[in-house]
């Protein structure tokens, strides 16, 4: 069953907070970790792993290996994570033919050589979570309705599982808050982040569907497509948010939220 859905950032400042807002975010993320500690598996959706332009990806390697941490962010001493292969295979087999999804393996179909890297998109959220087996999904920037429907499918499938599952959406928001940052300044980044924060607070992600493509392109988020999957999950399993915080200590915005059953 699905025990909760968390929106968690993947910026280094979430781990090493430089200001008061970031410290509040850090504390909220720690609390999210405590509340999801009963999860037996995490399904983690990350925009910074395999990048496929027109397909959702699901990683099938037996092991996941931290590769690109930000500024030596701590990961558990046993740094290898195991994939919940049974759940990953079930998601893929039931989604294939219904959604544009591909399975991804590397070097060997199974065993010690079946390994794949984890980036900051996964390592930062995992920093706050008890170590568990993982199913790693990568979103694609495809049709909105497909992503929402995939979320509904995923929510229903996870709810029907006997084991307790935590769904983690790794997401940062507008990336154009600072003219000295790599993407420059765009007012749309601040506007996007306000919209997302209010949507998280109200437990209603429907407003995502009203944002036009030009606005999203100017705001430069990486969260939009993953949050559409989250919207689909909420359509299938109504949940209420808590622990909503926001910080923007650098050029990108970060937020937290934990969705639990009403």
Straight-line distance from the first to the last Cα atom of the chain, in angstroms, rounded to the nearest whole number: 15
pLDDT at 69: 56
pLDDT at 218: 97
Domain that holds residue 22: 2-261
CB neighbours (10 Å) of residue 193?
23
Q: How many domains does the chain have?
A: 1
pLDDT at 75: 56
pLDDT at 79: 73
Q: Is beta strand 133-138 parallel, antiparallel or unpaired with respect to 41-45?
A: parallel
Percent helix / strand / coil, the chain, rounded to 5: 35, 25, 35
Looking at residues 73-89, what average pLDDT do you find?
Answer: 80
- Tens-place pLDDT, residues 45-62: 999 999 899 999 999 999
User: With 50 as the cut, is the pLDDT of residue 77 above it?
Assistant: no
Tokens 């079930």 correspond to 90
- Tens-place pLDDT, residues 120-179: 999 999 999 999 999 999 999 999 999 999 999 999 999 999 999 999 999 999 999 999
Looking at residues 233-254, what average pLDDT do you find?
Answer: 97
Q: What is the CATH number of the domain that holds 101?
A: 3.40.830.10
pLDDT at 73: 64
Tokens 């930062």 correspond to 124
CA distance 10 to 171: 6
CA distance 24 to 21: 5
């Amino acid at each position: 069953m699905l025990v909760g859905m968390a929106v968690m950032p993947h910026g280094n400042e979430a781990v090493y907070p430089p200001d008061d807002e970031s410290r509040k975010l850090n504390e909220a993320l720690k609390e999210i970790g405590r509340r999801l500690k009963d999860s037996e598996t995490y399904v983690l959706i990350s925009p910074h792993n395999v990048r496929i332009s027109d397909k959702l990806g699901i990683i099938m390697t037996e092991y996941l290996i931290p590769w690109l941490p930000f500024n030596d962010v701590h990961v558990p001493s046993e740094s290898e994570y195991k994939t919940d292969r049974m759940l990953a295979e079930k998601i893929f087999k039931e989604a294939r033919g219904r959604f544009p999804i591909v399975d991804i393996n590397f070097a060997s179909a199974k065993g010690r050589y079946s390994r794949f890297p984890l980036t900051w998109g996964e390592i930062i959220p995992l920093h706050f979570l008890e170590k568990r087996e993982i199913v790693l999904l990568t979103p694609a920037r495809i049709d909105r309705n497909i992503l929402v429907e995939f979320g509904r499918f995923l929510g229903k499938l996870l709810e029907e599982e006997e084991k307790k599952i935590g769904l983690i959406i790794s997401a940062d928001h507008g990336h154009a808050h600072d003219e000295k940052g790599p993407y420059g300044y765009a007012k749309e980044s601040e506007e996007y982040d306000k919209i997302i924060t209010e949507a998280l607070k109200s437990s209603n992600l429907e407003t995502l569907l009203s944002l036009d493509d030009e606005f999203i392109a100017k705001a430069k988020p990486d969260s939009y497509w993953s949050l559409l999957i989250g919207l689909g999950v909420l359509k299938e399993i109504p949940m209420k948010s808590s622990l909503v915080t926001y910080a923007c200590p650098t050029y990108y915005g970060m937020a937290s939220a934990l969705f639990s059953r009403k």
